[in-house]
Chains A and B, each alone.
Chain A
């Protein structure tokens, strides 16, 4: 079955450490996204990528970094500069087509990051 795999499900880190969250998709989708979810705030876009080797900042990119070296993979690094990193992180993908903006997002099952 095609889908999006996020690993690990739960991640614990000490403050000051960088941590990388994995996201892999086998849907052959062009576009991939990272969202952060906090209770009562919905989902906020961190970074997105519409094509390999290209990515754009979302609404809350500060303290995060990404890479898109392969179509299937879009890892997110939470750096020590992120002031409040504890959250639920969701990766998504869509079959991005130039001129068409109505493709729904397909989501992974998320990674819950706790930083103490």
Chain B
């Protein structure tokens, strides 16, 4: 079974400041991890994914995330926030092994709403 915990349902930063959105996961098998972004009344768009290659993953719009197995974390960062980054962000996990009830399904965290102040 897998689970995801996103620490902080709301994060507020100033434009140009560092963005840090926290995600911790639990998985009984080696995980695949994803970050998605959702703008109001829209679907989710993939930001980046970790699939057991490099532990530092670069995504779109200047975001990146680092997989830390010892901390079971996959935090999302961006060096300098832009007003257009304001959205809700979701961390998600799925198991890397074939078979089992989790195969092919993502488990999502509760989401973090990012607000960017001018």
Contact = CB atoms under 8 A, between A and B. Distances in A.
Contact of A101 (B9, B43, B96): B96
Contact of B104 (A41, A48, A112): A48
A42 B43 contact: no
B95 A101 contact: yes
Contacts of B95: 101
Interface in A89-116: 90, 92, 94, 96, 98-102, 104-110, 112
Contact of A102 (B44, B45, B49): B49
B51 interface: yes
A10 to B, nearest CB: 9
A64 interface: no
Nearest to A9: B41
Interface in B28-71: 32, 34, 36, 41-46, 49, 51
Interface residues of A, number: 32
B106 to A, nearest CB: 6
A40 interface: yes
Contacts, number: 68
Given A40-B110, A42-B90, A98-B98, A107 B45 contact: yes
Nearest to B46: A104
6 contacts: A40-B110, A43-B44, A101-B32, A107-B43, A109-B41, A110-B41
Given A42-B90, A101-B97, A109-B43, 17 more contacts: A6-B43, A31-B104, A41-B110, A43-B106, A45-B105, A90-B43, A92-B44, A94-B104, A100-B98, A101-B94, A101-B103, A102-B49, A102-B51, A104-B49, A107-B36, A107-B45, A109-B41
Interface of A: 4, 6, 9, 31, 33, 35, 40-45, 48, 50, 58, 90, 92, 94, 96, 98-102, 104-110, 112
